[in-house]
Amino acid sequence: YGTLPSRRALKNSRLVSQKDDVHLCIMCLRAIMNYQYGFNLVMSHPHAVNEIALSLNNKNPRMKALVLELLAAVCLVRGGHEIILAAFDNFKEVCKEKHRFERLMEYFRNEDSSIDFMVACMQFINIVVHSVEDMNFRVHLQYEFTKLGLEEFLQKSRHTESEKLQVQIQAYLDNVFDVGGLLEDAETKNVALEKVEELEEHLSHLTEKLLDLENENMMRVAELEKQLLQREKELEVVKVCWGAIGAGRSREGMIKEKDEAFRRHYGSEPPPLPSSEPPPPQPEPSEETLRLPVLPPTGRSLVLEDSRGWTVPRIGVSPSDGFTGKCPPAPPLPGASPSIALTVGLSAIRIKKPIKTKFRLPVFNWTALKPSQISGTVFSELDDERVLEDLDLERFEELFKTKAQGPALDLVCAKSKAAQKVATKVTLLEANRAKNLAITLRKAGRSADEICRAIHTFDLATLPVDFVECLMRFLPTEAEAKALRQYERERKPLEELADEDRFMLQFSKVERLPQRMAIMAFLGNFAENVQMLTPVQSW
């Protein structure tokens, strides 16, 4: 019996043989899984991966490294991650672990003498944690290993001498999600987004103000262009008038020069006759012949005629001069035709004082005549004082005063009532834009129904092209249309809206509004565009 082995020796030999058998089986499985067919058989087997994971309960670090390499290979295959997690769940139940991966982390911390096992273990953890697409699940797996003390151990092991282990540790730390940092970044992003919204809103307000200023400037430029055209027409008229006046003055100057030349050459004696024969004796004029006609008060020139039919002007002649002697006839001026009569002395110009009124009255659309132009017209014969005596001026002013005026007390009351009425109105449009729209609509003198009906029918007789072009600047924006639809959707009373908002609400309901307005503008300007494009024919 002394030569037979004891029971304890037999038991230890069995354990050693079992461990060697497990190591041998893992080596065989590794050889099988190197081929696609064998790998698929292992993956499809219900207990193969679980048994491989249970093989980690071994003291041989080389064998545990081999097991982790096989499990990492399985984890990288599609659907393999779920199989690995299920295998470690089974490992937890069989080995009575409190937390999943607890035994693995224990081996990782204690087997610091085996670099190959630590590299394989760190590689397996990287694959398990960072091969997940779902970020929430990835943070969950990361938290599992953090609870088991992985990050603290990695901070201590960062300066290991093994380059392979350093690479795996650095890869894990680089891919770790810092949840606190992400939360701060999210808060910073939210603050930045709020700031961007505020800036966009401010930018939209500035853009609207810029558009309003552009609209006002365009309207002002259009008005100034019209005034410029009117002034150019007036300038042409003035040029024509001054041309005629200059020609008349040149003729008068020529006559005066000839008269002065006549006086310098002949003095007060008449010029000699052009023929060499002495002039025939003239009869002495009688008193009837010397009786001169009475000049009118305007101081016009007196024209005397002799027996030959010549006319000789006598400047400044009046009955008070008392001609008593002989008045010999005189021939015409040298170079002058016998029918020329010099007119000197203009009528006295009386400037009428303007009539002051208590109210502003309408002004006629005409060009007032100058004082020098009313001679011989009905205005020179009118007596304003006599007309004012017969006219009830107070009643005349009350009847014809402009509508914008009234008694002071009534005007103040009207302003207070209008202010109260405006205060109760709801406006959805920007203040300047609403004011400009009100001015444009007031110039048109049309209701919203008439304007929208004219747009539907392309009625340019109702809406002139100038008004259409002005109205195109007030096409409702997307924000205005949205606000008006929201107001109408909430079934709020439309009477509380301001007139401009009610018009904009009805205006925005016109189908294909921008296209219709563009068509009306094109139709209105078509004839003018054709005229501008037509070449001028040269004769």
Which of residues 201, 226, 243 is at a domain's end?
243
Mean pLDDT of 154-158: 79
User: Given pLDDT bands bounded at 50, 70 and 90, which one contains residue 19?
Assistant: low
At 194-235, the pLDDT tens digits run: 889 889 988 988 988 898 899 989 999 998 999 999 999 989
At 322-356, the pLDDT tens digits run: 444 444 444 444 444 333 333 333 445 566 667 77
**Which pLDDT belongs to residue 301?**
38
198 and 172 together in one domain? no
Backbone angles phi, psi at 506, to 5 degrees: -70, -35
E strands of 261-376, at which residues? 302-305, 311-314
Domain range for 509 is 431-533
Which of residues 197, 226, 243 is at a domain's end?
243
Q: Are 333 and 258 in contact (CB under 8 A)?
A: yes
Cβ within 8 Å of residue 87, ≥6 positions away = 49, 50, 52, 53, 71
| Domain CATH code at residue 81 | 1.25.10.10
- Say what percent of the chain tops pLDDT 70: 74
154 and 92 together in one domain? yes
Q: Which of 155, 80, 169 is nearest to 121 (CA)?
A: 169
162 and 197 together in one domain? no
95-99, 210-214, 349-353, 407-411: lowest mean pLDDT where? Answer: 407-411
435 and 514 together in one domain? yes
Backbone angles phi, psi at 304, to 5 degrees: -105, 145
**Which pLDDT belongs to residue 43?**
84
3-class DSSP assignment, residue 426: strand
Cα(514)–Cα(253) distance, integer angstroms: 66
Cα(209)–Cα(430) distance, integer angstroms: 9
Q: Is residue 455 part of a domain?
A: yes
Which of residues 176, 191, 206 is at a domain's end?
176
| Total number of domains constituting the chain | 3
25 and 156 together in one domain? yes
Helix and strand element counts for the chain (H, E):
23, 2
Q: Which of 268, 254, 248 is nearest to 336 (CA)?
A: 254
Q: Say which amino acid occupies 385.
A: E
